[in-house]
Structures are given as structure tokens and as C-alpha cells.
Amino acid sequence: MRQILALVVVAALLIASPLPARGGKYPEPSIYPISWQLDFKHGTPRRLVVGTDAYWYMTYTVTNKTGQEQLWAPTFDLVANDGKIIKAGHDVNPAAFEKIKSIEKIQFLQPASKSVGELHQGEDQAKDSVAIWKEPNPRMGTFKIYVTGLSGEVVVLKDDDGKEVKDPDGQPVLLRKTLELTYAVYGDEFYPQRHDVHFLSEKWVMR
């Protein structure tokens, strides 16, 4: 049984990979600071039901200690165990935020739409907000969350011959330093609220 579970987890991780490697070594973030980076603290993802709709959410605090003003315009992608990508804020009932605010009791919690904008320096200028996703599947299994917008580190994707990879419009494909969070819920769709969310890993990737 444990071997089967391990194989399922490994398969889910492979499916959830953000982009396929192109035969060569895939770009990785620099091990030395080469650009600005914001401080980011986050809570554990939690499940929420509003009416007949189920959501997942993650609260966070972002702080600017970079020495200069920064634009806070993040993206939060949840990659389900079947590879489906769900954008935070898409098809979310506004009542979900109000319910989260009453549950979490974070004094200055803002909706994501109001937190976007210039992020001033200092801990007293930090922003508290929340990413909310429509539940992709009652059986969540292993899933990943990708947070982009925390760093200014960017690279151009190149193929094995060192040539720039182009998008359909002929523009270079840019990869940004992105925080990858991996979690797992070991349960079934009948009682999803009774199963704990297990933290598996946190690392920086280029995506």
C-alpha cells in the first residue's frame, strides 16, 4: 500500500511540473542575490465552503526590504494533481473573502485586487492579503502553489543549442524566479474537510 501511495505522489509531482525540460539543464535561480527580492510569509492552505462552492485559500504577508520602492503585482497559480492550473481569483465568489476575514481575524487583511500596487519600504508598510482558488478536485492529493512577483530575477529560456526559445508571437520566453510550495492532502472526496494539509517542500524555481 505504501509503495502504491509513493508512486501516486511521484506521478502527481511529475504531472504538476510547470514546464517540460528541453533535454538540457533547465535554468535554476542564482545561488547568489542578483536582483531585488521581497520578504514573503504565508499560512498553510485551507479549504473553505461558501454556499455550494468549495475554495482553497492561503493568507500571506509581503514586506519590502529591498531599499527601493517595488511594484507588487503577483500571480498565484495552483497546480492540481492532474496538472490543471487554477489562477487565484478566477471565478471566486466575493463572499469567500469576507468569510476568510472572519475566520482568520487578520486586522488589515485586504482582497487581492486591493493589495496590488506600489509596495513601500519597511515592515510598517507590509501588505496582508489572501490568494483564493476555486477547488479543482475534491480529491486534492498532492498539489503545488507557484508565487511569482517576489523577485526581479529573470532569464531568457534557451534550447540545447543556446538559442532563445520564442513564444507563438515571436517574443523570447522569459522565466521568472518563482516560489514553489508543495502540499498533500491524504483523504477522499467524501470528507475532504477532515483531512490535514501536509507541507512537503518549499523552493525557488525559474518558471
**Cα pseudo-dihedral 102, 139, 74, 115, rounded to 10:** -10
Whole-number pLDDT of residue 186: 86
pTM for this entry: 0.84
Phi, psi of 96 (to 5 degrees): -65, -40
pLDDT at 12 exceeding the cut of 80? no
Among 65, 74, 60, 84, CA closest to 139: 84
Alpha helical stretches, state H, 112-192: 112-115
pLDDT (average), residues 56-72: 98
pLDDT at 9 exceeding the cut of 50? no
Bridge partners, 186 (sequence order): none
Would you say 131 and 96 are in contact if contact means Cβ atoms under 8 Å apart? no
Whole-number pLDDT of residue 194: 64
Among 180, 138, 139, CA closest to 42: 180
C-alpha cell at 169: 508571437
User: 179-196: buried (b, 16+ CB within 10 Å) or exposed (e) per residue?
Assistant: bbbbbbbebeeeebeeee
Cα–Cα distance, 98 to 86 (Å, whole number) = 21
Whole-number pLDDT of residue 4: 38
Summarised one tens digit per residue, pLDDT across range 152-205 is: 999 999 998 889 999 999 999 999 999 999 999 987 666 666 678 999 999 999
pLDDT (average), residues 8-27: 44
C-alpha cell at 197: 494539509
Whole-number pLDDT of residue 192: 62
pLDDT at 91 exceeding the cut of 70? yes
Angle at 120 between CA 115 and CA 126, to 5 degrees: 55
Bridge partners, 121 (sequence order): 64
Cα–Cα distance, 67 to 98 (Å, whole number) = 34
Q: Mean pLDDT score of the chain, rounded to an integer?
A: 88
Would you say 135 and 56 are in contact if contact means Cβ atoms under 8 Å apart? yes
